[in-house]
Structure 1
Amino acid sequence: MSSLHQRETSLWHPFADMSAVRDEQFCVARAEGVWVYDQQGRRYLDGTAGLWYCNAGHGRTEIVDAVARQMRELDTYFVFNDVTNPPAEQLADRLAGLAPVDDAKIFLTTGGGESVDTAAKLARLYWVHQGRPERTHILSRGNAYHGTNGMGTSIGGIEANQAGFGRLVPDTERVDRDDAESLREAIERIGADRIAAFFAEPVMGAGGLYPPKPGYLEAVAKICAEHDILFVADSVICGFGRVGGWFGVERWGLRPDMITFAKGVTSGYLPLGGVVVGGRVAEPFWRQPGHPFRHGPTYSGHPSVAAAALANLDILEREELPARADALERPLHEGLLSLADHPAVGEVRGGTGLLGAVELAPDVLAADPGAAARLQRAVRDRGVIVRPLAKAVAVSPPLTVAESEIDLLVQALREGLDEVTTG
């Protein structure tokens, strides 16, 4: 029985070759726990938690009920100027209390890409208000993914995501992925007095799923502090338990100037993102008159979305799911490492949170540059969903996954690798 839904679609799928999928899609019809189901009723282990986000698992009626209650009372309203609403206020207070940042303020968006653009614009404007308008350069890392909005596309390090769009936002530059000295060299060459901020994912996600080398994040944070450059942690994937802790950066003892977040804050039930802004960056906007931040999405502070986040945070806290990610980190990594000697495997990455990747061997990729996508389909045919990247497949199951389900995920990967090798 085919899992593919065959009809001519009008839906333009992100990152898709529509000539290939326009009349043949994989249609997910329902979900529960760590499982999703296609229209034929076949179930699949959600080995990706959606797009890295469904940390609390699917079908949480507590979140659904919280949103329904909120919609009956105040469905939607904006928070521009002096307007506010109770759920947005409660959520901001709660996130500020959880954040490892002094005197935190919370700017809410509708997703990770908006959060990155918000932080980047805020970094530049902060320096304007410090009388340093020349500090416009934003540094990031090779292979980095920071969303697909204007600024995020410009500071991203995945070249294919920038190709063909013409000139992007100027004064951006990438440094080597895990080499702190590369950052120092770029600062010396450009001049610290021209640099606004450095963006880094704690664990690099869509660019290949690379955990940081030991000491790297601590080193770049120190370099930024030495040169008075704002350090922005992009925790869109890593937050809300994915690598332990609430914002992912606690694992390394980091205290960034700003933290971007999204995904796990609602477990993906409704679109929400935001920026944790440290008191230093917020000060000229909050304490000095005449400095409005003329930026903001229509749905910032949406009351029903905030209600979903509050209910989700209740679940994560009550069930101690960030700590569960810590406990499952080793079983997942060991399971993936058991695939390392497979002839189709070039490298296994993981061991930092409930995340991992299996990269295909160079000869497999040379023979078929689309082998990762082929592996993803082979694994799905065996009832498990993984995420195809350029050279690898990534896994990031809900934090509620059981060890026996991790075993199922690994076995499906092994059989899929066998198919890629023989097929």
Structure 2
Amino acid sequence: MRNNVKKSLTELDQRHFIHPTSSIKQQQEHGPAFIFTEGDGIYLKDNNGRELIDAMSSLWNVNIGYGRKELGKAAQQQMDTLAFSSAFSTFSHEPAIRLSEKLAELAPDGLNAVFLTSGGSESNDSAFKLARHYWKLRDQPERKKIISRQRAYHGVSSGSTSATGIPQFWEMAGLLSTDFIHADTPYELGTAQAIASIRNLIENEGPETIAAFVAEPVQGAGGIIIPPDDYFQEIRKLCDEYGILFIADEVITGFGRTGTMFGLEHWGVVPDMMTLAKGITSGYIPQGGVMVSDEIHETLKEKSEGTLFHGFTYSGHPTACAVALKNIEIIENENLVENSKEMGDEMLNGFRSIKDKIDIIGNVRSLGLLGAVELVEDPSTNKRFSPSLKVAPRVVEILAERGMICRSVTYDSTDIITFAPPLIINKEQIDNMIEILYDSILEVRREKNI
């Protein structure tokens, strides 16, 4: 009976379900890689009864882990009273008001107002539109351009795709929005060279045409790129010098992921705008937002006339807001931000321990529970493997066979394995992760004779 159910679901998946960010060819040839049925803590179970460690928190977002009935109860209670209500035309409700207040309490000083969305792509698109609108209100409508960075990932809607600095995301339909330009990433660069790249772009484009600079505190999909210690201080100075808004994309790095509530706290830098999603509800329901500085909010209040013609049906969705509030309560009550820091240190120590034993491991890094292991032909020179070897993707396949889900990053000929386990993970589970990783890399090393 189980096999018949599996076959039926596989066939239905192939016939009817177009998967996001997936290989359609692979789906049609092999069916879905997994059909998950249950989640508990850091573990997922598929329809074959296999249990796997989810070392990616699904899409970097299941911060409090799977199976938290508290969030289901919060959703049910809200649905029983007010499942949905529009926030258009200044209509409001308590969950959105309370969540906005809570986010202002948690955010860096000076960020006290939020525009609510349904997710990260919407949040970043909203930030870009609000930045351009702000400059129009300030009588500088020529400020339209957004500077992003290579290897950046900001989403897949029109504006956020154009801000994303991974060319594969542009190939499907092209760059859909104008006035997006990309500077060098700090990956393998010092601060001075990376900042010089941005300064050159500003000067070449004309400072008077630049609306904002956007950056992830730690680049996620680009390969867990942790910047040099002085990088964001210099970014803040550069933006202030040219009067450019600084947008921090905290979609992945927010809500404890890096061992602080928000990623930029590591460097003591406050942005002008901050985009949120993912960990705000731990993925239990779609939710996102854009926090803006007091100065931006005051400009909107003082200079706006008529309607702000931007919004989504589910902006301020009451059930999503109620779930977000309960999720944040759990993060705070269970000290998950501190646990992220402590277990992140354990994860990094584990990476370092296997690096000492395997001679194809290059740079290893982690900030909280956001980490990466690079595989290279020669660690002494950082010489990379030929892309045709597909080393990191093969390791990820072996990891899945051995019971752990990770992701590989092969952009720009890199072989990077990324990790973002739920913030509830413990030392024993970290040790198990490291053991599985060690065995899997050794197996691929033998298999490919490298």
Shared fold per TM-score greater than 0.5: yes
Q: Name the counterpart of 1:195.
A: 210
Q: How many angstroms apart in 2 are the aligned matches of 1:51 and 1:291?
A: 39
AA aligned opposite 1:352: L
Deviations 1:265-324 (A, max 9, x none): 001110111111111122232233415321111111111111110000110011111111
After superposition, the CA RMSD in angstroms is 2.0
Q: How many angstroms apart in 1 are the aligned matches of 2:55 and 2:225?
A: 18
AA aligned opposite 2:31: E
AA aligned opposite 1:65: K
Map 1:7-406; keep pairs closer than 5 Å: 7-8=10-11, 9=13, 10-22=16-28, 23-25=30-32, 26-102=34-110, 104-178=112-186, 179-290=194-305, 292-341=307-356, 345-362=360-377, 365-366=385-386, 368-390=388-410, 391-406=415-430
Q: How many angstroms apart in 1 are the aligned matches of 2:443 and 2:25?
A: 25
- Report the CA distance shift for 1:180/1:400 in structure 2 as closer, same or farther (over 3 A): same
Q: How many angstroms apart in 1 are the aligned matches of 2:407 and 2:337?
A: 22
Deviation larger for 95-104 or 138-147: 95-104
Q: Give the TM-score of the pair, scaled to structure 2.
A: 0.90
| 1:122, distance to aligned residue in structure 2 (A) | 0.7
| 1:207, distance to aligned residue in structure 2 (A) | 0.8
AA aligned opposite 2:318: P
AA aligned opposite 2:424: T
- Report the CA distance shift for 1:392/1:416 in structure 2 as closer, same or farther (over 3 A): same
- Report the CA distance shift for 1:141/1:167 in structure 2 as closer, same or farther (over 3 A): closer
Q: How many angstroms apart in 2 are the aligned matches of 1:73 and 1:54?
A: 26
Q: Which runs of 5+ in 2 are unaligned?
A: 187-193, 378-382
SS in 1 for 2:303: coil
- Report the CA distance shift for 1:76/1:101 in structure 2 as closer, same or farther (over 3 A): same
Answer whether contact 2:162 2:175 (CA < 8 A) is retained: no
SS in 1 for 2:364: strand
Deviations 1:254-273 (A, max 9, x none): 11000001000001110111
Q: Give the TM-score of the pair, scaled to structure 1.
A: 0.95
Q: How many angstroms apart in 2 are the aligned matches of 1:294 and 1:388?
A: 40
Q: How many angstroms apart in 2 are the aligned matches of 1:158 and 1:221?
A: 24
Number of residue equivalences: 422
Answer whether contact 2:275 2:291 (CA < 8 A) is retained: yes
Deviation larger for 297-306 or 342-351: 342-351
Q: How many angstroms apart in 1 are the aligned matches of 2:64 and 2:358?
A: 35
Deviations 1:54-106 (A, max 9, x none): 11111111111111111111111111111111111110111011111415211
SS in 1 for 2:373: strand
- Report the CA distance shift for 1:173/1:73 in structure 2 as closer, same or farther (over 3 A): same
Answer whether contact 2:137 2:303 (CA < 8 A) is retained: no
| 1:146, distance to aligned residue in structure 2 (A) | 0.4
Q: How many angstroms apart in 2 are the aligned matches of 1:329 and 1:142?
A: 26
- Report the CA distance shift for 1:235/1:369 in structure 2 as closer, same or farther (over 3 A): farther
AA aligned opposite 2:49: G
| 1:164, distance to aligned residue in structure 2 (A) | 4.0
Identity, in percent, stands at: 38
SS in 2 for 1:30: strand
- Report the CA distance shift for 1:295/1:344 in structure 2 as closer, same or farther (over 3 A): farther
Answer whether contact 1:285 1:293 (CA < 8 A) is retained: no
Q: How many angstroms apart in 2 are the aligned matches of 1:283 and 1:191?
A: 27
Answer whether contact 1:55 1:242 (CA < 8 A) is retained: yes
- Report the CA distance shift for 1:352/1:11 in structure 2 as closer, same or farther (over 3 A): same
Q: How many angstroms apart in 2 are the aligned matches of 1:312 and 1:259?
A: 19
| 1:188, distance to aligned residue in structure 2 (A) | 1.7
Q: Name the counterpart of 2:191.
A: none
AA aligned opposite 1:385: I
- Report the CA distance shift for 1:419/1:317 in structure 2 as closer, same or farther (over 3 A): same
| 1:343, distance to aligned residue in structure 2 (A) | 5.3
